Amino acid sequence: MQIRKVLLVEDEEDIRKVAQISLQFRGGWEVSLATNGEECLAQALSDLPDLILLDCMMPKMDGYEACRRLKQDPVLRHIPVIFLTAKAQETEVRKGLSLGAIGYLTKPFNPMSLVAEIQQILTNQEKAR
């Protein structure tokens, strides 16, 4: 699947910046940003991105709730969602996958290989179909 636009949802400003640069630099992708689950839903509706990278622990609305709502929305439900999570929450995020996300990436991620890991998840997903 061809990715052009990505929505990156992450509350930590510095980590958001590093991930944004990494996606632009390594993937050549257009990146829009959100800092919590509520902003994610609004931004997704206005941008209709090809992919959503969603942090799990965020203020206002966390990533799990945002994912649940994305998957209930008839316009947004087809957009693939990948969780970004701290290593310590790995067990929790495995449960979060039942909400409809296609995979997860653990932080700290290596910005030089982030795009490759995302593409691996997308490829696995297409094969599984």
Does position 15 bind other proteins by CB under 8 A?
yes
Taking the least distance from each CB to other proteins, the nearer of 46 and 110 is 110
Give the dihedral sign, CA 114/116/122/127: negative
CB of 57 to other proteins, least distance (A): 11
In the window 38-97, what residues touch other proteins (CB under 8 A)? Answer: 91
- CA 114, distance to chain mean position in Å, is 12
Taking the least distance from each CB to other proteins, the nearer of 63 and 80 is 63
Cβ(92)–Cβ(108) below 8 Å: no
In the window 93-122, what residues touch other proteins (CB under 8 A)? Answer: 107-112
Task: For residues 21 and 29, give the distance between their C-alpha atoms in angstroms, rounded to a whole number.
Answer: 10
